[in-house]
Amino acid sequence: MESFRVHILGCGSALPTLKHNPSSQVIEIRGKYFMVDCGEGTQTQLRRSKIKFTRINAVFISHAHGDHCFGLIGMISTFGMLGRTAPLHVYAPSAFRKIMEMQMDFFCNGFEYDVVFHDIDTTVQKIIYEDRSLTIETVPLSHRVPCCGFIFREKPTLPHILRDMADFYKVPVSQFNNIKNGTDWIDEEGNVVPYTRLTRPSGPVRSYAYCSDTRYIPSLYESLKDISVLYHESTYLSEDETMAQMYCHSTAAQAARVAADAGVGTLVLGHYSARYDDEKKLLAEAKNVFSNSILSYEGLIIDV
């Protein structure tokens, strides 16, 4: 099965701590590498993860708060100093473009690669990237500034040939692709062999959703139905729900409620408030609602 992994580079919230870095992740899917958010320290975390800088194809910024984007200009500069030539695509809310262009004009002159900005409308769920093997779509969230999440979804693959059955019916290799695409085989005696007898279904389609800073949205689950792995911010405990409402964040229990309603496979908690020394309390709260919950931490690699 092709690789589909999530590398956690940072899972803290706005206030820096010695324990957690600000938000950043790398999604590795079928040999492509996409970064989601780029807080301070992301370059160092990339080094620690042993992900080559040259592997990053695009960066997706959920919203223009510093703990999600202050590391981007430094990383762009480093890419230039390392001699990058391939374009870097940056997907971000439209207001972010002007900020970045001003910084690049000041700090990033003379580089040999282009930074291509793509404006995101955070108010709609929409596919913003697509290639032969995957799609990436936005998910509207509710925060103090325009904000969205992202769903990474691989496309279905063709069925697999059952080689022993193909040999039994003397199917030439040249016909394998046709059979994978649903064409029945007619043997030497004119008998029709259904393609379903010659193939087995491919594995289930995998998906990963990243829900950045957001207040609890009761209807959010409708956009996340049957996601394989969901990362949902869980900044606060329920005892601090008033603060969560004030700053447009979620509690661990609320994140778990979204996961349970959506029927996801696994919930990953993150974006922890610096007020908590022990995130296990957040995990316990989430598990009371959705048992298949885990904590994110720097260096964690999640196989989707």
Residue 1 predicted with pLDDT over 80: no
pLDDT at 158: 82
The single-letter DSSP state of residue 1 is -
pLDDT at 181: 87
User: Terminus-to-terminus CA distance in the chain, angstroms?
Assistant: 11
pLDDT at 40: 96
Same domain as 274, residue 220: yes
Give the Cα separation of 258 and 289 in Å (integer).
Answer: 10
Same domain as 17, residue 91: yes
pLDDT band at 203 (very low <50, low <70, confident <90, very high): confident
Q: Extract the runs of DSSP E, i.e. beta strands, from the chain.
A: 4-10, 24-29, 32-38, 56-60, 88-93, 115-120, 127-130, 134-140, 148-154, 160-161, 185-186, 192-193, 199-200, 207-211, 229-233, 266-270, 293-295, 301-303
Residue 230 predicted with pLDDT over 80: yes
To the query of whether residue 187 is one of the catalytic residues in this protein, the response is no
pLDDT 10s digits, 44-90: 999 999 999 999 999 999 999 999 999 999 999 999 999 999 999 99
Residue 127: exposure state from Cβ atoms within 10 A (0-12, 13-18, ≥19):
exposed
Q: Let me know: does 197 contact 191? Beta carbons within 8 Å.
A: no
Same domain as 294, residue 231: yes
pLDDT at 121: 97
Catalytic residue from among 67, 226, 261, 303: 67
pLDDT at 189: 83
pTM: 0.90
Question: What CATH number is attached to the domain comprising 125?
Answer: 3.60.15.10
Domain count across the chain = 2
pLDDT 10s digits, 16-28: 899 999 999 999 9
Q: Which of 200, 230, 256 is the last residue of a domain?
A: 200
